[in-house]
Amino acid sequence: MAYTPERIQEIVAKQRSFFRSGVTFDVNWRLQQLKKLKAAVIAHEEELEKALYEDLGRSKVEAYLCDIGPVIVEINEALRGLKKWAKPERHFSGLMCFPSTCTTVYKLPYGVTLLISPFNFPIYLTLGVLTASMAGGNTAVLKTSSKSAASTRALQKMIADTFPEEYITVIDGGHDVADMCLAQRFDKIFYTGSPAVGKHVLEEAAKNLTPVALELGGENGNWCIVRKDAHIKDAARKIAFFKLCNAGQICININQVAVAEEIADSFNEALKNEFIRQIGEKPEENEEYPKLINDAAYDKCQRLAEAYRDRIIFGGTGNKETRRFAPTMIYPVQIDEEIVKHELFCPLLPIVPFKDEKIDDLMETIAEREHPLSMYVFTKDMKWAKKVMSTQQYGGGCINEVCIHIMVKGVPFNGVGHSGMGAYHGEWGFREFTHPTTVLKGKTRFNLPLREHPYSGKHEKMKMRLLKIFER
């Protein structure tokens, strides 16, 4: 369907009218809608799997592991927790507010939300965010990626079969359609994607002073540090799994590995062996291995691999017709080279050697760059690891593990700086899509003249004395 500014304006107007009817404020109604969403995902599971295979070459297991299953988990968490999350908070007003004794904080929905999702996890990063918006009591316009066209078609059909357009609708199209959406006045915008587009979203949202949440990949990519005391085979096994997942097209994926020189040869050999064990000697011929999203992404990956051809120690091969490009180890790469200064979003893996005794210098260099979305460290030194993970600036991460921090219930998923702002998953998503509103309940009797004029003369000492007592 071809969209025009007038058509999008009409959709937003319908949703605003629906929101103002007050229907979405009812928590029980929201729970009913979340149950409908869950039932729809389960009913359309096969269609969603086929779409993910068409777009990204995902196997059935990887499609469920990375996209469909996490949506169901997210909905289940909202179903279990929503009544508690949405319950108004009661606070004692304090002596300064006497004779009022009760103040309430309501968690109110923003209204009409715009959710812009990416191609790499087109189901999860659309419906996961939608779950948070629905739990918060909002309506939603979903602008999905034109790159993952099959997934967009599947989502359009599923949402249209489940919800009325004035409540939730899916809009397809390219950047021009996204800009048409951004030109409208929404009450909340949630964007997942690149820092460059994130800046554009913020700029457009600022014209209407619309609050924005951004989940971005990070300008300089995510680091994984493997120290000399790390369990080499365990680190290699986990890093290989993660780099193979979605062919590296993951915002929290490892962009580059920094490995201690003392174990670099052993680590490189272990990582090669793990790639072969998990996906075979010719990954580009393995139908279980995902593909790059389009020809442009494949060509970009291939050009970058060619630029480092003399340092490729594993991989570097691909199949243009299927758009599968092998996981590719590039070693050695110095920390100041361009390839480790930007997010790659592909199967290339630069490996940066460092002297383990110079680990503080490495961490200082990482800290000076833009904040990553994720960070991973492999080491037996828990004191060092905990210090690093509690002092570096990044979104989230793991010690001696990769990626599964995003699967933990009750914790936020978020970035900082060039990797984003705002947070979601579970209650954190509910908070992101609601605004706290404080309401004090006054009394008509026993009101004291403390706050009223006059403040000088015989009243000054008495009022100052009482104020200082009340402020304790």
Write out the DSSP string of 102-127: EEEEEEEE-SEEEEE--SSSTTHHHH
Neighbours of 247 (CB within 10 A): 29
How is residue 9 written in tokens?
A: 């304006």
Distance, in Å, from the CA atom of 34 to the CA atom of 54, rounded to the nearest integer, reads 27
| DSSP code at position 358 | G
Could you read off the pLDDT tens digit of each residue along the chain, which spans 472 residues? 689 999 999 999 999 999 999 999 999 999 999 999 999 999 999 999 999 999 999 999 999 999 999 999 999 999 999 999 999 999 999 888 889 999 999 999 999 999 999 999 999 999 999 999 999 999 999 999 999 999 999 999 999 999 999 999 999 999 999 999 999 999 999 999 999 999 999 999 999 999 999 999 888 999 999 999 999 999 999 999 999 999 999 999 999 999 999 999 999 999 999 999 999 999 999 999 999 999 999 999 999 999 999 999 999 999 999 999 999 999 999 999 999 999 999 999 999 999 999 999 999 999 999 999 999 999 999 999 999 999 999 999 999 999 999 999 999 999 999 999 999 999 999 999 999 999 999 999 988 888 889 989 888 988 888 888 887 7
How is residue 351 written in tokens?
A: 């490996």
Q: Which residues contact 310 (CB under 8 A, 6 or more apart)?
A: none
Distance, in Å, from the CA atom of 409 to the CA atom of 360, rounded to the nearest integer, reads 32
Q: How far apart are the first and last CA of the chain?
A: 63
Architecture of the domain defined by 222-369+374-378: 3-Layer(aba) Sandwich (3.40)
220 in helix, strand or coil? coil
Q: Give the pLDDT of residue 331.
A: 98
Measured torsion, CA atoms of residues 459, 464, 467, 471, in degrees rounded to the nearest 10: 180
Class of domain 5-218+422-435: alpha beta
Q: Which residues contact 408 (CB under 8 A, 6 or more apart)?
A: none
Measured torsion, CA atoms of residues 294, 299, 304, 306, in degrees rounded to the nearest 10: 140
Contact by Cβ (8 Å): 66, 246? yes
Distance of CA 462 to the CA centre of its chain: 55
How is residue 195 written in tokens?
A: 């820092």
Torsion sign (Cα): 266, 271, 272, 276: positive
Distance of CA 204 to the CA centre of its chain: 20
How is residue 318 written in tokens?
A: 């691909």
Neighbours of 229 (CB within 10 A): 15
Among 35, 68, 37, residue whose Cα is nearest residue 51:
68
How is residue 469 written in tokens?
A: 């007592």
Residue type for position 123: I
The β-bridge partners of 260 are: 354
Q: Kindly report the three-state secondary structure assignment for every residue of 52-80.
A: HHHHHCCCHHHHHHHHHHHHHHHHHHHHH
Contact by Cβ (8 Å): 360, 369? no
Location of each CATH 3.40.605.10 domain in the chain:
5-218+422-435
User: How does 173-199 read in b/e, with b if 16+ C-beta sit within 10 Å?
Assistant: beeebbebbbebebbbbbbbbbbebbe
Distance of CA 168 to the CA centre of its chain: 21
131-167 pLDDT per residue, tens: 999 999 999 999 999 999 999 999 999 999 999 999 9
Contact by Cβ (8 Å): 337, 348? no
102-130 pLDDT per residue, tens: 999 999 999 999 999 999 999 999 999 99
Distance, in Å, from the CA atom of 190 to the CA atom of 202, rounded to the nearest integer, reads 10
Location of each CATH 3.40.309.10 domain in the chain:
222-369+374-378
Distance, in Å, from the CA atom of 219 to the CA atom of 401, rounded to the nearest integer, reads 23
Catalytic residue list: 215, 251
Among 194, 200, 154, residue whose Cα is nearest residue 178:
200
Residue carrying the six token digits 């316009």: 141
- Max alpha carbon distance in the chain (Å)? 91
Q: Give the pLDDT of residue 450.
A: 85
Distance, in Å, from the CA atom of 369 to the CA atom of 54, rounded to the nearest integer, reads 37
Q: Give the pLDDT of residue 145.
A: 97
- Tell me whether the omega of the peptide bond preceding residue 88 falls within 30 degrees of 0, making it cis: no
